């Protein structure tokens, strides 16, 4: 496991990310992931929040280990927490698979020729607040794939560290991994995966 300090002061970096978010839009959706419109990304994550479309991707090696990524310290929400491999928001007109492929390459340098079975395996709505910084209110798609070539080169502005973990052991023995503060959407995705609740068709039930 590795952990890299940001190259600029944390407060400055977090201000930079807030400014970036204020210039972007996410897709607002209903509980069934049907598009309702566009909303400013910062507005969607502050105040009461706005429900919007998101995804998290879980990449595995051929031995069933999952690649976890630590969110960089510059992140305004869940900074330094551990996530699935990547997570983000599709832009208007972009499919979940397209957005995932793009984010994998941007954050980890992982290209589509390194995997061939990327599929949407689940979709769920959840809402969680983070300290006094904001919240996530998302209909989150879960995508999974197996990496046949496990080489990658992470972007330090996005990913603070990476680690391979036995996926089943992480779920069954969370006390052994309590040093990994996990992002809530990843914890929900993992639980649903192991408990047989995963369904790519959203049911409108909030976690």
Phi and psi for 104 in degrees, rounded to 5? -60, -40
Out of 138, 158, 172, 195, pick the active-site residue.
Answer: 138
What Cα–Cα distance (Å) separates residue 80 from each residue in 138, 173, 197? Answer: 20, 21, 28
Query: 207: annotated binding-site residue?
Result: no
**For residue 38, what are the contacts with CB-CB under 8 A and spacing of at least 6?**
25, 26, 27, 28, 92
Element (H, E) at 138: strand 134-146
Cα separation, 8 vs 156, in Å, equals 11
Question: Nearest to residue 194, comparing CAs of 178, 173, 172?
Answer: 172
138 in active site? yes
Query: 129: annotated binding-site residue?
Result: no
With 0-12 / 13-18 / 19 or more C-beta atoms within 10 angstroms meaning exposed / middle / buried, residue 150 is: middle
Query: 119: annotated binding-site residue?
Result: no
Query: 34: annotated binding-site residue?
Result: no
Query: 81: annotated binding-site residue?
Result: no
Which residue numbers belong to the known binding site for Mg(2+)? 107
Known catalytic residues are 138
Which residue numbers belong to the known binding site? 45, 52, 89, 107, 136, 138
Which residue numbers belong to the known binding site for Mn(2+)? 45, 52, 89, 136, 138
């Amino acid at each position: 496991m590795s952990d890299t300090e940001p190259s600029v002061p944390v407060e400055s970096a977090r201000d930079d990310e807030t400014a970036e978010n204020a210039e972007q839009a996410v897709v607002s959706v209903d509980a069934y992931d049907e598009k309702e419109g566009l909303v400013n990304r910062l507005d969607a994550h502050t105040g009461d929040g706005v429900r919007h479309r998101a995804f998290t991707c879980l990449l595995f090696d051929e031995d069933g280990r999952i690649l976890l990524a630590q969110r960089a310290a510059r992140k305004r929400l869940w900074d330094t927490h551990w996530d699935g491999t990547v997570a983000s928001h599709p832009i208007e007109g972009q499919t979940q698979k397209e957005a995932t492929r793009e984010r994998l390459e941007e954050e980890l340098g992982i290209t589509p020729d390194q995997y061939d079975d990327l599929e949407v395996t689940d979709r769920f709505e959840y809402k969680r607040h983070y300290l006094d910084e904001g919240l996530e209110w998302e209909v989150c798609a879960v995508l999974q794939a197996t990496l046949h070539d496990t080489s990658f080169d992470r972007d330090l502005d996005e990913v603070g560290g990476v680690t391979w973990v036995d996926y089943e052991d992480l779920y069954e023995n969370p006390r052994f991994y309590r040093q990994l503060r996990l992002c809530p959407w990843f914890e929900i995705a993992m639980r649903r995966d192991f408990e047989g609740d995963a369904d790519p068709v959203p049911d409108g039930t909030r976690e």
